[in-house]
Structures are given as C-alpha cells and as structure tokens.
Amino acid sequence: MANARMRKAVLVPGISDVGIEFERFAKSLGHRRKDLFSRIGSLRNGFEGWVKLEFFFWLVGEYGLRIPTPEQDWNENSADIGLEYKVRLDQRWNDREVKHCDLWIRDDQQKPGFHYVELKAPFANANMNKMLTSAASDFWCMSRIRKSYEQAVSGNAIVLGVGFNDDTWVQGIDRVRTESGVPEEMQESRSGVLDDKGQVRFSVLTRRY
C-alpha cells in the first residue's frame, strides 16, 4: 500500500504554471545575461525568438524534459516540450482552424495535458499599437484552443515590452487584455522585469481550461 501511494505521488515530467516558471526564468536570465539588456533597446524588434529559445532550454535543464528528435514523429508519449506547433482552435468561436504557437510544454499532473504558449515583443515605438493588437489576437487564440483535441491545460500569451515605463506598460497590457475579448474571470496574469533597470518587462496572460 505504501508503494502504491508513492507511485501515485510521482509527477510526470512537466510544469504546472507557465507564469510561475517564466517568472523564475526571468530572474535567472537577468542574472546570467545582464550585460545584454542594455543593447536590446537598439534592436527595434524581433528579439522574442532569442527569449523563446532561452526559456525552452531553461525548462529542459530545470526539469529534464525530453525534446523531440528529428527521427521520431511527435506523439503525447515521445516528448515533454517542443517548438512551433499548429494548435487547433475551437471553431464554435471562429472559422479559423489552427493557430501557430511558439512553444508547448507538458503538464506535470494531467496525463496527457499540455500548456501552449505564444510570445510577442512590442517596443515602445511607432509600431507599438500594431504589436499590442497582435498580442491581443494571440491571447484570444490561446483562450480558444480545442481542449479535447489538444489536451489543453492552459493557453498563454507572454508579452515582452521594451522601452516602456511603469504607466505605459500598464496601459499596454490593459489594452491587450481588453482587445483580446477574454472575460476577466477567465484571465490570470503575472508580470515582472527581465533586468534590474526595467528595460525589458514581461506579462504572462493565461487562460486555464
């Protein structure tokens, strides 16, 4: 009986909360790569691909997650984390069939169960409003995943902001939340900074299924 209880308590490889893990990752990245953040503001756009890979490999290292190999077709038992996946959407809400998402991660309690993630990085420049609207669209899609088909535990939009101050960042994230059309009672959020000077901020918007 004791052995049975121990087996039941063992979690599968994975995570339970994208927001919590991204916050832990942000602290680690801010410490390890602090010399880079002063340069990100000059990039103007496109750095979310770097953050995606850093987060991906940080999760792999922290939790020993299995990565799909080129030789294997992905299935729910072959890997615990992956990049670039076309997640199927619930067509009761829209005629759009799929949404390309950046990252998927196994849930550590539900088997099968997965967290799906999109990243967007608006800069506080002339392109800001367009990027915030795009982030809102990402969150809308991540909140309307076809749950049974994708074994969805959560859908997440990670918004990374460069060059915002406290007020403009709050306004920007409020805009994303409002434009997404996701009811407030279905939203979770977690915010912070990637560097000690607040040059790069983040908010993780989550809808749980």
Question: Residue 78: its pLDDT value, please?
Answer: 78
Report the greatest alpha carbon distance in the chain: 64
Q: Residues 134-166: pLDDT tens digits?
A: 999 999 999 999 999 999 999 999 999 998 999
Contacts 24+ apart (CB under 8 A), 133-136: 133/179, 135/159, 135/176, 136/175, 136/176, 136/177, 136/178, 136/179, 136/180, 136/181
Instruction: Indicate whether 13 pLDDT > 90.
Output: no
pLDDT average, residue stretch 6-27: 81
Can you read off the two tokens belonging to residue 209? 């299924």
For residue 160, the one-letter residue type is L
Instruction: Output the average pLDDT for the chain.
Output: 87
Give φ, ψ of 90 to 5 degrees: -75, 110
Q: Residues 161-207: pLDDT tens digits?
A: 998 999 999 999 999 999 999 999 999 999 998 887 778 899 999 99
Question: Residue 6: its pLDDT value, please?
Answer: 40
Q: Which one, of 158, 161, 170, 174, lies nearest residue 127 by Cα?
A: 161
Percent of the chain with pLDDT over 70: 88
Can you read off the two tokens belonging to residue 128? 């800001």
Question: Residue 5: its pLDDT value, please?
Answer: 42
pLDDT average, residue stretch 50-62: 95
Q: Looking at the whole model, is its pTM more than 0.85?
A: yes
Domain boundaries of the chain, sorted by first residue: 11-208
Question: Residue 138: its pLDDT value, please?
Answer: 96
